Structure 1
Amino acid sequence: MTDIVEGQPAPAFDMATAGGDRVSLDALKGRKVVLYFYPKADTPGCTTEGQDFSALIAEFDKAGATVIGVSRDPVKKLDRFKAKHDLRVVLASDEPEDVTEAWGVWVEKKLYGREYMGVERATFLIDGAGVVRRVWRKVSVKGHAAEVLAAVQSI
């Protein structure tokens, strides 16, 4: 597993997004980037997290940050998820699975005694120069978006 640490250059990414666009780290140079990984679109925790980031999107924008939610869901599912919950963040599809691998969030999980591979809920704050400034692992959704916003505003 790749271990992303603060102070290292962010691994490059280029993904398809809801709405038929693409998003890449190169295209966002000069802007702060909040890259949050979530397990599955339209599940309770992932919906709450998307709504919490969306509620603060004007503040993130004012602080010069782009917020990108990443899952392995196909773009069509992300389109439905975004529309159903009026999400205002960029939703990116890592259906090829290379971004979740590169960022070290494809991990072994346990649920009800069963082990399986899945996406770890994690968030990374990247500065305008492409350097990882903050890392949040095993994220608890409640209050997380506000904590990330405070970190964005401090750099």
Structure 2
Amino acid sequence: MAELSIGAPAPDFDLPRDGGGQVSLSAFAGKPVVLFFYPKDDTSGCTTESLAFTALAPEFQAAGAVVIGMSPDSVKSHDKFIKKHSLGVILAADEDKSVLEAYGVWKEKSMYGKKYMGVERTTVLIGADGHIVRIWEKVKVAGHAEEVLQAVKAL
């Protein structure tokens, strides 16, 4: 499992996305990219986070940034999630978890004493040059999208 660090090149990826087609980091070279990793489509915290990024999507766009959410869910699941909540962000499907592992967010978690593997809610801000500018680990959803937007505007 990788440990990311500020200033390091962000691992590239090419994954299936909502609505069909592919999404890759390299396709957005020259633009800041907000990559938010979340555990599961249509769960309470993930829905709240995705809605918050959607609400601020015009401001991220005005700042020249692209917002991409990523989870191990399928494209079919992403499509249902987007339709149900009218989401306005790209959702990448990393079903084999290779990108989640490359970014170090696929971790052992614990709930009610049971250990299992899952996504640790994390956001990575990637600068226009493809290098990592900031990492938010163990994200608390409330106010998070706004904080990320402020970091993008400060670039």
Normalised by the length of structure 1, the TM-score is 0.99
Question: 1:51 maps to which residue?
Answer: 51
Q: In the alignment, does 2:87 pair up with 1:78?
A: no
| Sequence identity (%) | 55
User: Which residue number corresponds to residue 20 of structure 1?
Assistant: 20
User: In the alignment, residue 25 of structure 2 is paired with which amino acid?
Assistant: L
User: Aligned partners of 1:127 and 1:119: how far apart in 2?
Assistant: 23
Partner of 2:89: 89
Gaps of 5+ in 2: none
Per-residue deviation at 1:25?
A: 1.1
Supply the RMSD in Å over aligned alpha carbons: 0.6
Q: How far 1:21 sits from its partner (Å)?
A: 2.0
Equivalence for 1:39: 39
Query: 2:109 aligns to what SS in structure 1?
Result: strand
**Would you say how many aligned residue pairs link Structure 1 and Structure 2?**
155
Counterpart secondary structure, 1:42: coil
How far apart are 1:121 and its partner, in Å?
Answer: 0.2
Which residue matches 2:68? Answer: 68
Superposed displacement of residue 96, structure 1: 2.1
The separation in 1 between residues aligned to 2:96 and 2:110, in whole angstroms, is 23
Distance 1:131 1:17 in 2: 22
Partner of 1:146: 146
Q: Which runs of 5+ in 1 are unaligned?
A: none
Q: Which amino acid is the alignment partner of residue 135 of structure 1?
A: I
**Cα shift readout 1:17-59 (whole Å, capped 9, x = no counterpart):** 1000211111110111000000000000000000000000000
Corresponding position: 1:110 with 2:110: yes
Give the TM-score of the pair, scaled to structure 2: 0.99
